[in-house]
Structure 1
Protein backbone atom coordinates (compact mmCIF):
# COMPACT_ATOMS: atom_id res chain seq x y z
CA UNK A 1 0.00 0.00 0.00
CA UNK A 2 1.31 3.42 -0.93
CA UNK A 3 1.69 6.34 1.44
CA UNK A 4 -1.02 8.25 -0.37
CA UNK A 5 -3.54 5.38 0.08
CA UNK A 6 -2.69 5.09 3.77
CA UNK A 7 -3.31 8.82 4.26
CA UNK A 8 -6.72 8.57 2.56
CA UNK A 9 -7.63 5.55 4.65
CA UNK A 10 -6.54 7.35 7.81
CA UNK A 11 -8.95 10.17 6.99
CA UNK A 12 -11.87 7.91 6.03
CA UNK A 13 -11.78 5.60 9.06
CA UNK A 14 -12.70 8.24 11.71
CA UNK A 15 -15.51 9.55 9.51
CA UNK A 16 -16.90 6.04 9.00
CA UNK A 17 -16.71 5.33 12.74
CA UNK A 18 -18.73 8.48 13.49
CA UNK A 19 -21.42 7.59 10.94
CA UNK A 20 -21.74 4.01 12.20
CA UNK A 21 -21.73 5.01 15.86
CA UNK A 22 -24.59 7.43 15.39
CA UNK A 23 -26.89 4.83 13.84
CA UNK A 24 -27.97 3.41 17.20
CA UNK A 25 -28.76 6.72 18.92
CA UNK A 26 -32.50 7.01 19.58
CA UNK A 27 -34.27 10.32 19.08
CA UNK A 28 -34.97 11.92 22.47
CA UNK A 29 -36.93 14.99 21.50
CA UNK A 30 -36.55 18.23 23.45
CA UNK A 31 -34.70 17.86 26.74
CA UNK A 32 -35.55 20.52 29.32
CA UNK A 33 -32.43 21.53 31.20
CA UNK A 34 -31.05 24.80 32.49
CA UNK A 35 -32.19 28.35 31.85
CA UNK A 36 -32.63 30.22 28.61
CA UNK A 37 -29.71 30.72 26.32
CA UNK A 38 -27.48 33.57 27.34
CA UNK A 39 -26.38 36.22 24.93
CA UNK A 40 -26.71 39.91 24.36
CA UNK A 41 -29.04 41.45 26.93
CA UNK A 42 -31.24 44.19 25.46
CA UNK A 43 -30.41 47.56 26.97
CA UNK A 44 -31.88 51.04 27.05
CA UNK A 45 -29.76 54.18 27.05
CA UNK A 46 -30.90 56.53 29.82
CA UNK A 47 -29.52 60.02 30.29
CA UNK A 48 -28.56 61.25 33.74
CA UNK A 49 -26.30 64.03 35.01
CA UNK A 50 -22.76 63.97 36.37
CA UNK A 51 -20.81 67.13 37.15
CA UNK A 52 -23.55 69.25 35.56
CA UNK A 53 -23.42 67.47 32.18
CA UNK A 54 -25.50 64.76 30.52
CA UNK A 55 -24.14 61.23 30.50
CA UNK A 56 -25.54 58.06 28.94
CA UNK A 57 -26.11 55.04 31.18
CA UNK A 58 -26.96 51.64 29.72
CA UNK A 59 -29.58 49.63 31.58
CA UNK A 60 -30.99 46.17 30.89
CA UNK A 61 -34.59 46.33 29.67
CA UNK A 62 -37.44 44.08 28.67
CA UNK A 63 -38.71 46.64 26.18
CA UNK A 64 -35.89 47.93 23.96
CA UNK A 65 -37.14 50.66 21.68
CA UNK A 66 -40.19 51.52 23.81
CA UNK A 67 -39.98 55.25 24.52
CA UNK A 68 -42.46 55.24 27.42
CA UNK A 69 -40.66 52.39 29.22
CA UNK A 70 -37.34 54.20 28.84
CA UNK A 71 -38.77 57.45 30.26
CA UNK A 72 -40.32 55.56 33.18
CA UNK A 73 -36.95 53.96 33.92
CA UNK A 74 -35.37 57.41 33.78
CA UNK A 75 -37.89 58.75 36.31
CA UNK A 76 -36.92 55.98 38.73
CA UNK A 77 -33.55 57.70 38.98
CA UNK A 78 -30.00 56.43 39.26
CA UNK A 79 -29.29 53.08 40.89
CA UNK A 80 -27.25 52.96 44.09
CA UNK A 81 -24.19 51.87 42.08
CA UNK A 82 -24.66 54.84 39.74
CA UNK A 83 -25.10 57.22 42.68
CA UNK A 84 -21.74 56.04 44.08
CA UNK A 85 -20.20 57.06 40.74
CA UNK A 86 -21.60 60.59 41.04
CA UNK A 87 -24.56 60.08 38.71
CA UNK A 88 -27.59 62.25 39.60
CA UNK A 89 -30.74 63.55 37.96
CA UNK A 90 -32.50 66.89 37.59
CA UNK A 91 -35.86 65.14 37.34
CA UNK A 92 -38.22 64.56 40.25
CA UNK A 93 -37.96 60.89 41.15
CA UNK A 94 -40.96 58.64 40.75
CA UNK A 95 -41.65 56.33 43.63
CA UNK A 96 -43.90 53.34 43.52
CA UNK A 97 -46.24 51.88 46.10
CA UNK A 98 -44.77 51.21 49.54
CA UNK A 99 -43.48 47.68 49.94
CA UNK A 100 -44.12 47.38 53.67
CA UNK A 101 -46.75 48.55 56.14
CA UNK A 102 -45.37 51.53 58.06
CA UNK A 103 -44.83 51.12 61.78
CA UNK A 104 -47.28 52.72 64.19
CA UNK A 105 -45.70 55.85 65.72
CA UNK A 106 -44.52 55.60 69.36
CA UNK A 107 -47.05 58.24 70.43
CA UNK A 108 -49.90 55.93 69.40
CA UNK A 109 -50.96 58.08 66.46
CA UNK A 110 -51.93 56.64 63.13
CA UNK A 111 -49.31 55.73 60.61
CA UNK A 112 -49.28 57.69 57.38
CA UNK A 113 -49.05 55.53 54.28
CA UNK A 114 -47.42 57.32 51.34
CA UNK A 115 -49.65 57.70 48.32
CA UNK A 116 -48.76 55.28 45.56
CA UNK A 117 -48.15 56.91 42.19
CA UNK A 118 -49.66 55.27 39.17
CA UNK A 119 -47.12 54.90 36.37
CA UNK A 120 -49.90 55.17 33.82
CA UNK A 121 -50.80 58.63 35.13
CA UNK A 122 -47.26 59.82 35.83
CA UNK A 123 -45.97 60.06 32.30
CA UNK A 124 -47.62 59.87 28.91
CA UNK A 125 -45.63 59.51 25.73
CA UNK A 126 -46.95 60.08 22.23
CA UNK A 127 -44.45 58.95 19.62
CA UNK A 128 -45.30 59.67 16.02
CA UNK A 129 -43.27 59.19 12.88
CA UNK A 130 -41.89 62.74 13.04
CA UNK A 131 -41.94 63.83 16.72
CA UNK A 132 -42.15 62.66 20.33
CA UNK A 133 -44.28 64.32 23.01
CA UNK A 134 -43.62 63.49 26.68
CA UNK A 135 -46.12 64.82 29.23
CA UNK A 136 -45.42 64.63 32.95
CA UNK A 137 -48.42 64.77 35.26
CA UNK A 138 -48.56 66.97 38.37
CA UNK A 139 -47.88 63.82 40.41
CA UNK A 140 -44.40 63.73 38.85
CA UNK A 141 -43.48 67.02 40.52
CA UNK A 142 -41.45 69.93 39.22
CA UNK A 143 -37.87 69.43 38.03
CA UNK A 144 -34.92 71.14 39.71
CA UNK A 145 -33.46 72.46 36.43
CA UNK A 146 -36.09 72.36 33.64
CA UNK A 147 -33.57 72.77 30.81
CA UNK A 148 -31.30 69.93 31.89
CA UNK A 149 -34.29 67.80 32.96
CA UNK A 150 -35.86 68.25 29.52
CA UNK A 151 -32.54 67.28 27.90
CA UNK A 152 -32.47 64.09 30.00
CA UNK A 153 -35.95 63.17 28.79
CA UNK A 154 -35.36 64.20 25.16
CA UNK A 155 -32.12 62.24 24.87
CA UNK A 156 -33.59 59.16 26.58
CA UNK A 157 -36.70 59.24 24.37
CA UNK A 158 -34.68 59.69 21.18
CA UNK A 159 -32.23 56.93 22.15
CA UNK A 160 -35.13 54.52 22.70
CA UNK A 161 -36.64 55.51 19.38
CA UNK A 162 -33.33 54.91 17.59
CA UNK A 163 -33.30 51.24 18.59
CA UNK A 164 -35.78 50.63 15.76
CA UNK A 165 -33.92 52.90 13.30
CA UNK A 166 -30.27 53.37 14.36
CA UNK A 167 -29.35 55.63 11.44
CA UNK A 168 -32.24 58.05 11.87
CA UNK A 169 -31.74 61.74 12.47
CA UNK A 170 -32.70 63.03 15.94
CA UNK A 171 -36.42 63.67 16.16
CA UNK A 172 -38.01 66.74 17.71
CA UNK A 173 -38.99 66.04 21.32
CA UNK A 174 -41.41 68.18 23.31
CA UNK A 175 -41.40 67.82 27.08
CA UNK A 176 -44.49 69.19 28.84
CA UNK A 177 -43.92 69.75 32.57
CA UNK A 178 -46.76 69.85 35.13
CA UNK A 179 -46.80 73.65 35.55
CA UNK A 180 -47.53 74.13 31.84
CA UNK A 181 -43.91 74.76 30.86
CA UNK A 182 -42.97 73.16 27.53
CA UNK A 183 -39.45 72.61 26.31
CA UNK A 184 -39.03 71.75 22.64
CA UNK A 185 -36.08 70.72 20.58
CA UNK A 186 -34.28 67.87 18.92
CA UNK A 187 -31.96 65.57 20.79
CA UNK A 188 -28.92 66.81 18.88
CA UNK A 189 -26.49 67.28 21.78
CA UNK A 190 -26.84 63.88 23.38
CA UNK A 191 -23.54 62.25 24.30
CA UNK A 192 -23.01 58.74 23.02
CA UNK A 193 -25.25 58.94 19.95
Structure 2
Protein backbone atom coordinates (compact mmCIF):
# COMPACT_ATOMS: atom_id res chain seq x y z
CA UNK A 1 0.00 0.00 0.00
CA UNK A 2 2.89 2.28 0.82
CA UNK A 3 4.38 1.74 -2.65
CA UNK A 4 1.10 2.79 -4.28
CA UNK A 5 0.97 6.04 -2.28
CA UNK A 6 4.58 6.79 -3.10
CA UNK A 7 3.93 6.21 -6.85
CA UNK A 8 0.90 8.50 -6.70
CA UNK A 9 2.91 11.21 -4.95
CA UNK A 10 5.61 11.02 -7.63
CA UNK A 11 3.09 10.90 -10.47
CA UNK A 12 1.19 14.09 -9.53
CA UNK A 13 4.21 16.46 -9.70
CA UNK A 14 5.30 14.91 -13.00
CA UNK A 15 1.80 15.45 -14.42
CA UNK A 16 1.84 19.07 -13.22
CA UNK A 17 5.20 19.71 -14.96
CA UNK A 18 3.94 18.25 -18.24
CA UNK A 19 0.68 20.20 -18.11
CA UNK A 20 2.42 23.52 -17.55
CA UNK A 21 5.25 23.21 -20.04
CA UNK A 22 4.62 26.66 -21.50
CA UNK A 23 2.95 25.83 -24.83
CA UNK A 24 0.70 28.78 -25.59
CA UNK A 25 -2.90 28.27 -26.67
CA UNK A 26 -3.62 29.27 -30.28
CA UNK A 27 -6.74 30.40 -32.04
CA UNK A 28 -7.88 29.48 -35.54
CA UNK A 29 -4.98 29.26 -37.97
CA UNK A 30 -5.87 30.10 -41.60
CA UNK A 31 -4.19 27.59 -43.89
CA UNK A 32 -5.88 27.80 -47.28
CA UNK A 33 -9.37 27.21 -48.60
CA UNK A 34 -11.88 24.67 -47.46
CA UNK A 35 -11.59 21.05 -48.46
CA UNK A 36 -13.12 20.53 -51.86
CA UNK A 37 -13.80 16.82 -51.77
CA UNK A 38 -12.31 13.92 -53.64
CA UNK A 39 -11.24 14.37 -57.26
CA UNK A 40 -12.88 11.59 -59.31
CA UNK A 41 -10.56 8.97 -60.77
CA UNK A 42 -11.33 7.03 -63.90
CA UNK A 43 -9.46 4.26 -65.66
CA UNK A 44 -8.67 4.56 -69.35
CA UNK A 45 -7.17 1.77 -71.40
CA UNK A 46 -4.02 2.34 -73.42
CA UNK A 47 -1.62 -0.12 -75.08
CA UNK A 48 1.78 -1.40 -73.93
CA UNK A 49 3.67 -4.20 -75.66
CA UNK A 50 0.62 -5.10 -77.75
CA UNK A 51 -1.72 -5.51 -74.77
CA UNK A 52 -4.27 -3.36 -72.97
CA UNK A 53 -3.17 -1.62 -69.81
CA UNK A 54 -5.46 0.29 -67.44
CA UNK A 55 -4.17 3.75 -66.53
CA UNK A 56 -5.75 5.91 -63.80
CA UNK A 57 -6.74 9.46 -64.70
CA UNK A 58 -8.14 12.31 -62.64
CA UNK A 59 -11.11 14.10 -64.10
CA UNK A 60 -13.06 17.18 -63.18
CA UNK A 61 -16.04 16.10 -65.26
CA UNK A 62 -18.70 13.84 -63.82
CA UNK A 63 -17.75 10.20 -64.31
CA UNK A 64 -19.71 9.00 -67.30
CA UNK A 65 -18.85 7.10 -70.47
CA UNK A 66 -18.60 10.17 -72.70
CA UNK A 67 -16.19 12.04 -70.41
CA UNK A 68 -14.06 8.89 -69.96
CA UNK A 69 -13.82 8.40 -73.74
CA UNK A 70 -12.82 12.05 -74.17
CA UNK A 71 -10.05 11.56 -71.60
CA UNK A 72 -8.95 8.36 -73.39
CA UNK A 73 -8.69 10.23 -76.71
CA UNK A 74 -6.18 12.61 -75.17
CA UNK A 75 -3.72 9.73 -75.37
CA UNK A 76 -0.83 8.85 -73.10
CA UNK A 77 1.08 11.44 -71.10
CA UNK A 78 4.70 12.18 -71.93
CA UNK A 79 5.84 10.03 -68.99
CA UNK A 80 3.68 7.15 -70.23
CA UNK A 81 5.04 7.46 -73.78
CA UNK A 82 8.58 7.23 -72.39
CA UNK A 83 7.54 3.94 -70.74
CA UNK A 84 6.26 2.62 -74.08
CA UNK A 85 2.55 3.18 -73.39
CA UNK A 86 0.67 4.32 -76.47
CA UNK A 87 -2.75 4.33 -78.10
CA UNK A 88 -4.09 2.89 -81.33
CA UNK A 89 -6.99 5.34 -81.41
CA UNK A 90 -7.22 8.55 -83.42
CA UNK A 91 -5.27 11.28 -81.71
CA UNK A 92 -6.70 14.55 -80.55
CA UNK A 93 -5.55 16.19 -83.79
CA UNK A 94 -7.68 13.71 -85.77
CA UNK A 95 -4.75 11.62 -87.03
CA UNK A 96 -4.42 7.93 -86.32
CA UNK A 97 -1.06 6.75 -85.11
CA UNK A 98 0.44 4.71 -82.32
CA UNK A 99 2.82 7.59 -81.58
CA UNK A 100 1.31 11.02 -80.90
CA UNK A 101 2.43 13.73 -83.27
CA UNK A 102 3.91 16.96 -81.91
CA UNK A 103 0.79 18.80 -83.10
CA UNK A 104 -1.27 16.84 -80.58
CA UNK A 105 0.45 18.77 -77.80
CA UNK A 106 -0.59 22.23 -76.72
CA UNK A 107 2.06 24.95 -76.19
CA UNK A 108 2.43 23.90 -72.54
CA UNK A 109 3.16 20.28 -73.64
CA UNK A 110 -0.13 18.91 -72.31
CA UNK A 111 -2.47 16.95 -74.52
CA UNK A 112 -5.08 19.01 -76.34
CA UNK A 113 -8.62 17.79 -75.84
CA UNK A 114 -9.95 16.06 -78.92
CA UNK A 115 -12.40 17.89 -81.14
CA UNK A 116 -15.98 17.07 -80.14
CA UNK A 117 -16.70 15.26 -83.41
CA UNK A 118 -14.02 12.55 -83.03
CA UNK A 119 -16.56 10.26 -81.37
CA UNK A 120 -20.24 10.22 -80.71
CA UNK A 121 -21.24 8.48 -77.48
CA UNK A 122 -24.85 7.51 -76.90
CA UNK A 123 -25.88 6.00 -73.58
CA UNK A 124 -29.23 4.37 -73.04
CA UNK A 125 -30.37 2.33 -70.05
CA UNK A 126 -29.41 -0.98 -71.62
CA UNK A 127 -26.70 -0.07 -74.16
CA UNK A 128 -23.72 2.22 -74.83
CA UNK A 129 -22.87 3.08 -78.45
CA UNK A 130 -19.62 4.68 -79.54
CA UNK A 131 -19.32 5.81 -83.13
CA UNK A 132 -15.97 6.98 -84.50
CA UNK A 133 -15.94 9.64 -87.18
CA UNK A 134 -14.04 8.76 -90.34
CA UNK A 135 -10.31 9.28 -89.82
CA UNK A 136 -9.00 7.78 -93.06
CA UNK A 137 -7.69 4.55 -91.51
CA UNK A 138 -9.26 1.42 -90.14
CA UNK A 139 -9.41 1.10 -86.37
CA UNK A 140 -7.63 -2.08 -85.16
CA UNK A 141 -9.38 -4.51 -82.84
CA UNK A 142 -7.12 -3.53 -79.96
CA UNK A 143 -8.18 0.12 -80.38
CA UNK A 144 -11.81 -0.98 -80.24
CA UNK A 145 -10.99 -2.86 -77.04
CA UNK A 146 -9.51 0.38 -75.61
CA UNK A 147 -12.89 2.08 -76.10
CA UNK A 148 -14.94 -0.83 -74.76
CA UNK A 149 -12.83 -1.30 -71.63
CA UNK A 150 -12.75 2.44 -70.89
CA UNK A 151 -16.55 2.66 -71.30
CA UNK A 152 -17.19 -0.34 -69.03
CA UNK A 153 -14.77 0.99 -66.39
CA UNK A 154 -16.56 4.37 -66.41
CA UNK A 155 -19.93 2.68 -65.95
CA UNK A 156 -18.61 0.72 -62.98
CA UNK A 157 -17.32 3.89 -61.31
CA UNK A 158 -20.50 5.85 -62.04
CA UNK A 159 -22.73 3.13 -60.57
CA UNK A 160 -20.79 0.37 -58.77
CA UNK A 161 -23.98 -1.55 -57.91
CA UNK A 162 -25.26 -1.83 -61.50
CA UNK A 163 -24.22 -4.31 -64.15
CA UNK A 164 -22.46 -2.33 -66.94
CA UNK A 165 -24.38 -2.09 -70.19
CA UNK A 166 -22.86 -3.71 -73.27
CA UNK A 167 -20.78 -1.36 -75.42
CA UNK A 168 -20.98 -1.27 -79.22
CA UNK A 169 -18.22 0.48 -81.17
CA UNK A 170 -18.93 1.39 -84.79
CA UNK A 171 -15.90 2.15 -86.93
CA UNK A 172 -15.66 4.41 -89.98
CA UNK A 173 -16.37 1.45 -92.26
CA UNK A 174 -19.61 0.65 -90.42
CA UNK A 175 -18.15 -2.45 -88.77
CA UNK A 176 -19.67 -2.96 -85.33
CA UNK A 177 -17.91 -4.62 -82.40
CA UNK A 178 -19.70 -5.34 -79.13
CA UNK A 179 -18.11 -6.01 -75.76
CA UNK A 180 -18.98 -6.25 -72.10
CA UNK A 181 -15.58 -5.81 -70.45
CA UNK A 182 -15.06 -9.48 -69.57
CA UNK A 183 -11.63 -9.49 -71.25
CA UNK A 184 -10.50 -6.15 -69.84
CA UNK A 185 -7.56 -6.27 -67.44
CA UNK A 186 -8.02 -4.80 -63.96
CA UNK A 187 -11.83 -4.77 -64.15
Q: TM-score, normalised by structure 2?
A: 0.69
- Pick the aligned partner of 1:124 from 120, 123, 127: 120
What displacement does 1:54 show?
0.8
1:107 alignment partner in structure 2: none
Any unmatched runs of 5+ in structure 2?
17-24, 94-102
2:146 alignment partner in structure 1: 152
Q: Distance in 2 between matches of 1:158 and 1:52?
A: 20
Superposed, 1:1-193 pairs within 5 Å as: 33-37=31-35, 40-95=38-93, 119-138=115-134, 140-145=135-140, 147-193=141-187
Q: Distance in 2 between matches of 1:161 and 1:51?
A: 26
Q: TM-score, normalised by structure 1?
A: 0.67
* Native 8 Å contact 2:91 2:114 kept in 1: no
What displacement does 1:159 show?
0.6
Q: Which runs of 4+ in 1 moved over 4 A?
A: 96-100
Q: Report the CA distance shift for 1:117/1:51 in structure 2 as closer, same or farther (over 3 A).
A: closer
Any unmatched runs of 5+ in structure 1?
14-21, 101-115
* Native 8 Å contact 2:70 2:114 kept in 1: no
Q: Distance in 1 between matches of 2:50 and 2:61?
A: 29
Alignment size in residue pairs: 170
Q: Secondary structure at the match of 1:134?
A: strand
Q: Secondary structure at the match of 2:150?
A: helix
